[in-house]
Copies of this chain bind each other. A is one copy, B any other.
Amino acid sequence: MTWYVLTIIGTIAFALSGAIVAMEEEYDVFGVVVLAMVTAFGGGLLRNLMIGLPVSDIWNQGALFNVALASALILILLPTRWIHHWLRFANMFDALGLSAFTIQGALYAASMKYPVGMVVVAAVITGIGGGVIRDVLAGRKPIVLRAEVYALWAMVAGAAIGFHVVNPSRSWQLYALLLVVFTLRMLSLAFGWHVPRRRFRAVPVPSGEEDAMPPSVP
């Protein structure tokens, strides 16, 4: 029951993040709804595709669809001031969603007897897939690939379940894991942590020449 509440909170947070990105890109109301749905359900869809569950299973979440749709439609009608207000809490709810979704994704893969690596991948895809599709459809470079410590915590959840550190049949252990992932995500936001980068340029590119590309990477 409590877990379902967390899933609802995460769905709302993910849907709203998609809706806000769409509004920032000046998409119309239809685009806002599409990006909201894609962000909320894209991760589960990709995960099902990758681990061999029917993609159409995501349609069994009827109530969550209505929740995501309603979230997007309400957001469109809210005064700008209120949206700014929401954004002050958005990270917290998004972190709850990340935690709940990645644990859920890892449990799916673990229940199918996949090896640890796959469990981690399933956790990551469930957690970040929706945001990646959202950014691609918004014409943005996926932020999770370049700027945020986000996927790392999904890996932690996946590893904890894949290595049986956490016993899925003990729900208090799942809640403890959720708390760990949530806390790590909030800490990385509070302290502005970043995954390190390694820059590289195959050929010097004159600035503004966006089409230039090393001939060596076909």
| Number of A residues, CB within 8 Å of B | 74
Q: Is A175 positioned at the interface, with any CB of B under 8 Å from its CB?
A: no
Q: B65 near A117 (CB under 8 angstroms)?
A: yes
Q: B62 near A51 (CB under 8 angstroms)?
A: no
Which residues of chain B come closer than 8 Å to A49, judged between CB atoms? Answer: 49, 55
- Report the copy number of this chain in the oligomer: 3
Which residues of chain B come closer than 8 Å to A52, judged between CB atoms? Answer: 54-56
The A interface, classified by DSSP as helix, strand, loop or mixed, is helix
Closest chain-B Cβ to A211's Cβ sits at a distance in Å of 8
Interface residues of A (CB under 8 A from B): 17, 20-32, 34-35, 45, 49-52, 54-56, 59, 62, 65, 76, 80, 83-84, 87, 90-91, 94, 114-115, 117-118, 131-132, 136-148, 150-152, 189, 194-202, 211, 213-218
